Amino acid sequence: MKALLLAMLLVPLAGIAVLYLLPRDVAERSATRVGFYAGGAVLVLAAALACVFDYTKTGYQAGVNWNWIPALHIRFQLGVDGISLPLVLLTALLSALCFFYSIRHMPDGGSQRSYTALLLLLEIGMLGTFLAADLILFFVFFEIVLLPMWALIAYWGTDGAKAAANKFILYTLLGSAVMVVGFLVLFAYADSFDMAWLTAHARGDVPKGAALTAFALIALGFAVKTPMFPLHTWLPDAHTAAPTTGSVLLAGVLLKMGTYGFVRIAVPILPQAAPTYAPALAAFGVVGVIYGSLACLSIARKPDGDLKRLIAYSSIGHMGFVLLGIGSLTTVGMNAALFASVAHGLITGLLFFLVGGLKVRVHSAKLDDIGRALYRRAPKYGVLIAFAAMASLGLPGLAGFWGEVLALFSATRPGTGLTQGSYIAMASIAAVGLVLTATYLLAVVRRVCMGPAATPSEQPVTELTAVETATWTPLVLLTLLAGLWPALLLGITNPAVRVLMKGV
């Protein structure tokens, strides 16, 4: 199992090495295939990990624990448990799908070799973030992710790519810089970077004041990443500019690194500080739900509204539910946050793929350029968009539902030390957000999928291609599966969350 974890990080690295060892022209020609093999291998490894994972145990499994920088008590510690496993699987899946999709749909912008190498590096960073069991190692992987994503947006993006990429990297770097200061404050008192140890000894060494400071700093870092309401403005720009695969991974995985941080680090390691900030987290989450939905609605009402931008804002709304779940400081809330994270990764990944496909077809993601009546012009494509919209608006029976409803459930009865009344108010407001979410998604479906009978002037739209079908089918199936059988995910996360939440 140890070997599996290490291999998951080393295989993409090997992929990068191969790309740069091959002669340039050969590498350019075969880059996307090399990427696909590496990504596919990681997916296989992740699936193998899911098979050998012991679902009856609760703590870290397959722990790699090596000395790294002994003078600073930093260790190279990897591990996987019920919280990280679903996210690791999600990452491996989405990355593999992105590689597969890139074979046919390489974005314009430059060398295929660099593009693939960057995606591989990105995958290392994402997997490492979810596998790291040491705070500094976590931080290192957290940072590794930024550079490839910046380059992907800046060089393979469209519509003001450079500015958006710079905004993205500066904003998130600021967040993670603050976060690492929080880690250091924590270290100053607890004298360890070991996550498992810190969780087990939570409430022990860190005095209240220091814990409050550390929590604020760490939470700020994760809040930027999530993104939480007033710290979100990098997201729409980055998504609008990013190439399809970049958007998919950005929404599907990168945002989850923030929520994962909350669930894994901020709340369980600093439980004495959590009740102080939890209402703020929940409140900003709720504001994000309403605000994101309204922003989407305003885009859906504009004639030149950009669909990618709309989905980016919808992510803010969905992540608001995640924050609400975390802010409730209950086991249900954490489960809800994880479920919603994974579901959002699947659904929003699918949505970004779909919009990317439209962009390939009509060379624009603007609502007016896409035109109307996709149900007629490309029936399967239209149905798929309607399906994704339904999933995104939290239709029960699809993945989006359980996370949001459980977040509301946890918020109507928050953990000890929190005022139930205010949480009930927040839950009610967030529930209204469900209606708003439905409003803008259905407005989009009406504008794009429905529409009048054929006019001669309208452009034809290509129906789903084989590559697209193959790329998106897994997402559709998993969305259905997670919606119809939520135990599949909740069964994995719940035992691990229970352990984490013992001290809270």
Partner 1 sequence: MSTLALWIPLLPLLSAAALAAVSLSGRGRRTVPALAVLPIAAAAVLTFVVLVGHGTGAATESRIRYAATGGPELWLGARVDGLAALIAVLVGVVATAVQLYSVSYMAHEERYTSYSALISLFTAAMLVVVYSTDLLVLLVGWEVMGACSYFLIGHHWERPEARGASIKAFLVTKFGDVPFLLGILFLAHGAGTFRVQPILQHAIQQGGHGYTAAGAILLIGGVMGKSAQVPLQTWLPDAMAGPTPISALIHAATMVAAGVYVVARLYPVFLVTPAALWILAIAATLTTVTAALSAFAQRDLKRILAYSTVSQLALMVAALAAGGRDAAVFHLMSHGGFKALLFLGAGVIIHKAGTGDVDELNTQDLRRKLPVTFITMTIGLAALAGVPPFSGFFSKESIAGAAYDTATHSGPTKSLLGLTPPAGIGWLVLVATLLTGFLTAAYALRTWLMLFGPLERGWFRSAVELSQRQPQAPAPSGVSMAEAEAKAETEVAPPTAADAAAGSEWALEALVAESIREKTAAEVAAAADASASAEAAKATKAKTKVRTGPEAPRAELLPLVVLAAVTTVFGFAGLNLGWFASWLGDADGNAYHAKAAEAGKLIQPADAYHLGPGLLSILLALLALALGLGVVLVAARAKPGTDPNHVLGFLRKPAFLGFRADDLQDAVVVRPTQAAADAVGFLDTEVVDAYVRGSGHAARLLGEGLRRIQTGNVQLYLTGVLTGVVVIAAALGFGR
Segment 300-359, which members bind partner 1 (CB under 8 A)?
300-303, 330-336
Question: Shortest distance, CB of residue 487 to partner 1, whole angstroms?
Answer: 4
Q: Select from 34-42, 100-108, 139-147, 410-418 the region that touches partner 1 (CB under 8 A).
A: 410-418
Q: Which is nearer to partner 1, 122 or 443 (CB)?
A: 443
d(CA 274, CA 445): 40
Q: Is residue 204 close enough to count as binding partner 1 by CB under 8 A? A: no
Which is closer to partner 1, CB of 119 or CB of 391?
391
Binding segment (CB under 8 A) for partner 1, from list 48-56, 102-110, 278-286, 380-388? 380-388
**Sole window of 23-31, 112-120, 205-213, 375-383 interacting with partner 1 (rule: CB under 8 A):** 375-383
Window 100 to 159, contacts with partner 1 (CB under 8 A): none
Closest distance of CB 405 from partner 1, Å: 7
CB of 188 to partner 1, least distance (A): 24
Q: Contacting partner 1 (CB under 8 A), which of 383, 467, 470, 481? A: 383
Shortest separation between residue 94's beta carbon and partner 1, angstroms? 24
Residues 456-495 that bind partner 1 (CB under 8 A): 456, 485-487, 490-491, 494
Residue 154 CB contacts under 8 Å (≥ 6 apart), including other chains: 161, 162, 165, 166
Residue 495 CB, nearest distance to partner 1 (Å)? 9
User: At 76, which helix (H) or strand (E)?
Assistant: strand 74-80
The 168-197 contact track toward partner 1, x by CB under 8 A, reads --xx--------------------------
SS (H, E, C) 415-469: CCCCCHHHHHHHHHHHHHHHHHHHHHHHHHHHHHCCCCCCCCCCCCCCCCCHHHH
Q: How many CA atoms lie within 13 A of 185 on its CB side?
A: 22
Q: Which is nearer to partner 1, 83 or 122 (CB)?
A: 83
Q: Give the per-residue contact string, 425-454, with partner 1 (x = CB under 8 A; - = no).
A: --xx--xx-xxx-xx--xx--xx-xxxxxx
Binding to partner 1, residues 47-76 (CB under 8 A): none
| Residue (73 or 302) nearer to partner 1, CB | 302
Q: What is the DSSP letter of 262?
A: I
The residue (of 397 and 417) whose beta carbon lies closer to partner 1 is: 397
How many residues does the structure list for the chain?
A: 504
Minimum CB distance to partner 1 smaller for 70 or for 452? 452
Q: Are 152 and 246 in contact (CB under 8 A)?
A: yes
Omega before 227 within 30 of 0, i.e. cis = yes
Q: Of the candidates 249, 247, 248, 175, which has an alpha carbon nearest to the alpha carbon of residue 218?
A: 175
Among residues 126, 367, 155, 137, the alpha carbon closest in space to that of 248 is found at 126
Please, which residue, 233 or 419, has the CB nearer to partner 1? 233
Q: Which of residues 72 and 473 has its CB atom nearest to partner 1 in the complex?
A: 473
| Shortest distance, position 331 Cβ to partner 1, whole Å | 3
Among the listed ranges 35-43, 151-159, 251-259, 409-417, the one in contact with partner 1 (CB under 8 A) is 409-417
Q: Which of 401, 475, 479, 503 binds partner 1 (CB under 8 A)?
A: 401
Return d(Cα 3, Cα 462) in angstroms, integer: 44
Residue 399 near residue 405, CB atoms below 8 Å: no
Binders in 224-283 for partner 1, by CB under 8 A: 230, 232-234, 236
Q: Is 167 in the site for partner 1 (CB under 8 A)?
A: yes
Q: Which is nearer to partner 1, 189 or 409 (CB)?
A: 409
Per CB under 8 A, the list member of 98, 133, 273, 497 interacting with partner 1 is 497
d(CA 76, CA 469): 40
CB of 152 to partner 1, least distance (A): 21
Q: At 491, which amino acid appears?
A: G
- Region binding partner 1 by CB under 8 A among candidate stretches 32-40, 124-132, 252-260, 396-404: 396-404
**Minimum distance from residue 240 beta carbon to partner 1 (Å):** 12
| Run of H or E residues at 69 | strand 61-69
Q: Which is nearer to partner 1, 43 or 296 (by Cβ)?
A: 296
Q: What is the DSSP letter of 314?
A: H
Q: Which is nearer to partner 1, 183 or 402 (by Cβ)?
A: 402
Q: How far apart are CA 407 and CA 251, in angstroms?
A: 20
Q: CA 35 to CA 171: how far, in whole Å?
A: 29
8 alpha carbon, distance to own chain's centre? 19
**Region near partner 1 per CB under 8 A, out of 85-93, 127-135, 166-174, 181-189:** 166-174
Considering only 73, 104, 201, 498, the residue that binds partner 1 (CB under 8 A) is 498
Contact residues for 5 (Cβ-Cβ < 8 A; gap 6+): 49, 62, 64, 78, 79, 80, 131
Nearer to partner 1, 114 or 493 (CB): 493
Binding residues for partner 1, how many (CB under 8 A)?
74
Q: Given CA atoms 243, 247, 248, 254 in this order, what sign does their dihedral have?
A: positive
Sign of CA dihedral 404, 406, 408, 414: negative
Q: Indicate the residue among 203 and 413 with the shorter CB distance to partner 1.
A: 413
Q: Secondary structure of the chain: what % helix, strand, coil (to 5)?
A: 75, 5, 20
Q: Is the four-CA dihedral 478, 469, 354, 36 of positive or negative sign?
A: positive
